[in-house]
Amino acid sequence: MMVKPLAAVFSMLLLFGAAKLPFEHRLEQEDRAAFFHGAKLSLGLRDQVGQLGFLAALSGFRSLVADFLWIEAHTAWEGTQWGRMALLFNNVTTLQPRVVMFWDMAAWHMAYNASVAAMQDPKQPRLALRLRAQREYFELGKDFLIRGIENNPDRYLLYERLGIVERDKFGDHCAASRRFGEAAAIRGAPTYEKRFMAYELSHCPGHEREAYERLLALYKTGRREWLPTLLERLEYLQKALNIPAAQRVNIPEKKL
Amino acid sequence: MDTPHKIFSPARLWAIASNTLLELVRLKVFYFLLLFALLIIGSSAFMLDFKFQEQFQVLKDMSLGSMSIFSWLLAVLATAMLLPKEIEDRTLYTILAKPVPRLEYILGKLLGILALLFVSILLMSVMFVIALYIKQQAVLTDAVRGLPPEQTADVIRGVKASAFTVSLIPCVAMIYIKSALLASFTLLASTFATSSIFTIIVSFVVYFIGHVQGIARESLLASPNASALSKVFLAFVSLLFPDLRLLNLTDDVVAGNAISSAIFLKTAGLGLSYFCVYTLAAYLIFAFKEL
C-alpha cells in the first residue's frame, strides 16, 4: 500500500515548494543586485557553441564551456582568424559576462590587433577599404567594452579601457575624459583615473577652464601629483586661458 | 542485565554510516581523484602562453567545475546503487530484522554518502589549492624577473589577488551542499524506483530541470505569446523541483564577484532545507515500503 505515503510525500513537496517560492524569488533578486546569474543563454548561443556545449552551459558548467571557447579563441588568434575570434569572444562573454578580463582582452584583440592586421592586409590593395575595415575593428573593440560595462558597471577597468580606446583609436578626447571620469567615480579605482580625466579634458575644445581647475586642484594636493604630463598640460592651459601671472603656478623647468 | 532498546541510537547510526562509507571506498570510487588531478595538471600545462590572469581564471574554472561534476556524479551514482544493492544482496533484510528503525537505516546510509562526499571534496580542494600555489609561485618567479624593486611589490600583490582568494571557500561549501541535496533527492528516488538505472536517470533529469527551470521561467514570462497551460506547467515544475541555478554561485565568484555572508547563508539555508525535505520524504516512503 504505497499509494498513501506517495501521495503524502507528493503533497509535502508541493507545500514545501509553495513555501520556498517567495524565498527563492527574493534570493534571486538579491543575487541579481549583487551581479550573480547575469548570463543570458539564448537559443542563438546554441547554434554557435553546439548542442553539447549549450547543454553543459545550461547544466551549471558555463564557466568550463567559456574557458574551452577562450582557448579556442587563443588558437584562432595564433592563426590570425579575426572573424572567428570575434565570434568566439561573443560567446565567451555571453557565457561569463562578469569576467572583466574576457571583455578587456576581446576588446584589445579587436581594437588593437585585428585593426592593425586589417590596415596591413596584403590582399586588399585599396586603402579606403583597408581604412574602413580598420574602423570596423575599432568599433568592434569599443562595442565589447560598452557591453562589458553594461554587465560590470561596478568595476573601473572597462571604463578605463574604453577611455583609452576613445583617446587612442578615435581621437575623441571629450569622450575619453568622460570615461576616465566614470572610472574614477567607482570605488577602489586607482587615483590616476582622475589625472587621466583632467588630461583628456585639457584636449577637449570648450572645456579648457574646467580642465585647468581640475589640474590645478590635483597640483595643489602635493608634489606626488607633479608629474611631467600634468605640469605640461597645466602650463599649456595657463597660457591658453591667459591666467594672470600672479595667479599662475610656477612650473619648475626641470619638471618639464 | 540487558540495556533497554533505544528508539534512536547515534551509535547504531554511526555503525550504519561507517559501514556505508567503507563499502563505497571498497568500490574504488576514489579513482576519479586521479582523473581530477590529471585535469588540473593538464589545464595548468597547456596554458603557458596565456597571461597570468587567464591562467588563474582557467585553472579555477577547471578545478571548481571538475569538483562540481565529480561530486554530482558521485552523489548520484553512489546513492542510486545503495538501496537496490542492499536489497539484491539481502543485507537490508538482515539489518532491518534486527531492532534497527528504518529512520536510522536511511539516515545512516545518507550520512555514509555525505562522509564520502566530504572526504572527496576535501581531497579535491587540497589538490586544487596545491595546484594554485604551484602556479602562483611559477607566475611570481616569471613576473618579478628583471623588474625594478619599486615595482615588485605591486606585481606580487596583483598576482596574489588573482590566485587564491577567501571567497573560494564558500564556493567549495556550496558544491558540497549541492551534492548533498542531489544525494538526498537520489535517495528519495531510489525508495520508490525499481532499478538503479531508473534512479540515476530520474536524478539526472531533475538536475537538468533544476538548472533550466529558472531560464525557462524568465523566457516564458518575457514572452507575450506564452499559453496559460505552459505557465501552469512551469509553476508546477517550480513547486516540485529545486532551482539549482540559485545554488550555483561559483562561476560568478571566480569571475570576481564578492559573495556576502547574507547571500551565502541564505543560499546554503535553501540548499539544506531541500536536503531535509527530500530526506524526510525518502524516509516516509521507505518507512511504508513493503520489503
Asked if the C-beta of B54 comes within 8 angstroms of chain A's C-beta atoms, the answer is yes
CA end-to-end distance (rounded Å), chain A: 93
Alpha-carbon distance values, A56 to A59, A62, B36, B92 (Å): 5, 7, 18, 37
Asked if the C-beta of B133 comes within 8 angstroms of chain A's C-beta atoms, the answer is no
The predicted pLDDT at position B202 comes to 95
Cβ atoms < 10 Å from Cβ of B88: 11
Distance CA B115, CA B149 (A): 49
ipTM of the complex model: 0.86
Asked if the C-beta of B223 comes within 8 angstroms of chain A's C-beta atoms, the answer is no
Between the ranges A175-179, B100-104, B220-224, where is the mean pLDDT highest? A175-179
**Contact between B240 and A17 using a beta-carbon 8 Å cutoff:** yes
pLDDT surpasses 90 at B225:
no
In angstroms, the separation between the Cα of residue B61 and the nearest Cα of chain A is 6
Q: Closest chain A residue to B54 measured between Cα atoms?
A: A101
Distance CA A164, CA A173 (A): 9
Distance CA A56, CA A91 (A): 14
SS3 B107: helix
Per the prediction, chain B carries an average pLDDT of 88
**Contact between A13 and B273 using a beta-carbon 8 Å cutoff:** no
Which chain B residues touch A2 with a CB distance below 8 Å?
192, 285, 288-290
In angstroms, the separation between the Cα of residue B1 and the nearest Cα of chain A is 39
CB–CB of B64/A60 below 8 Å?
Answer: no
Residue B171: pLDDT band (50, 70, 90) is very high
Residue B284 identity: L
The predicted pLDDT at position B177 comes to 97
The predicted pLDDT at position A255 comes to 47
The mean pLDDT of B251-270, rounded to a whole number, is 92
**Contact between A37 and B245 using a beta-carbon 8 Å cutoff:** yes
pLDDT surpasses 80 at B205:
yes
The mean pLDDT of B35-58, rounded to a whole number, is 77
CB–CB of A73/A87 below 8 Å?
Answer: no
The predicted pLDDT at position B162 comes to 81
Distance CA A150, CA A167 (A): 20
Interface test with chain A among B157, B213, B219, B252, by most A beta carbons within 10 Å:
B252
**Contact between A12 and B280 using a beta-carbon 8 Å cutoff:** yes
In angstroms, the separation between the Cα of residue A179 and the nearest Cα of chain B is 22
pLDDT digits (tens, 9 = 90+) for B186-197: 999 999 888 899
The predicted pLDDT at position A254 comes to 54
DSSP at B3: P
The predicted pLDDT at position B218 comes to 80
pLDDT surpasses 80 at B30:
no
* B84/A44: higher pLDDT: B84
**DSSP string over chain A:** --HHHHHHHHHHHHHHHHHHHHHHHHHHHHHHHTT-S-----HHHHHHHHHHHHHHIIIIIHHHHHHHHHHHHHHHHHTT-HHHHHHHHHHHHHH-TT-HHHHHHHHHIIIIIIHHHHHT-TT---HHHHHHHHHHHHHHHHHHHHHHHHH-TT-SHHHHHHHHHHHHTS--HHHHHHHHHHHHTSTT--THHHHHHHHHHHTSTT-HHHHHHHHHHHHHT-GGG--HHHHHHHHHHHHHTT--GGGS----GGG-
Close Cβ partners of B68 (under 8 Å, ≥ 6 residues apart): A60, A61, B175, B178, B250
pLDDT digits (tens, 9 = 90+) for B105-132: 999 999 999 999 999 999 999 989 998 8
The predicted pLDDT at position B267 comes to 96
**Contact between A96 and B255 using a beta-carbon 8 Å cutoff:** yes
Domain boundaries, chain A: 154-256
Of residues A9, A60, A63, nearest to B284 (C-beta): A9
**Contact between B239 and A66 using a beta-carbon 8 Å cutoff:** no
In angstroms, the separation between the Cα of residue B2 and the nearest Cα of chain A is 35
**DSSP string over B232-282:** HHHHHHHHHS--GGGG--HHHHHTT----HHHHHHHHHHHHHHHHHHHHHH
Asked if the C-beta of B203 comes within 8 angstroms of chain A's C-beta atoms, the answer is no
Asked if the C-beta of B244 comes within 8 angstroms of chain A's C-beta atoms, the answer is yes
pLDDT surpasses 50 at B157:
yes
CA end-to-end distance (rounded Å), chain B: 33
The predicted pLDDT at position B2 comes to 63
**Contact between A67 and B58 using a beta-carbon 8 Å cutoff:** yes
Distance CA B207, CA B281 (A): 18
The predicted pLDDT at position B207 comes to 95
The predicted pLDDT at position A253 comes to 64
Regions in chain A scoring below 50 on pLDDT = 255-256
Which chain A residues touch B274 with a CB distance below 8 Å?
20
Domain boundaries, chain B: 10-288
Of residues B208, B251, B290, nearest to A62 (C-beta): B251
The predicted pLDDT at position B173 comes to 96
The predicted pLDDT at position A84 comes to 94
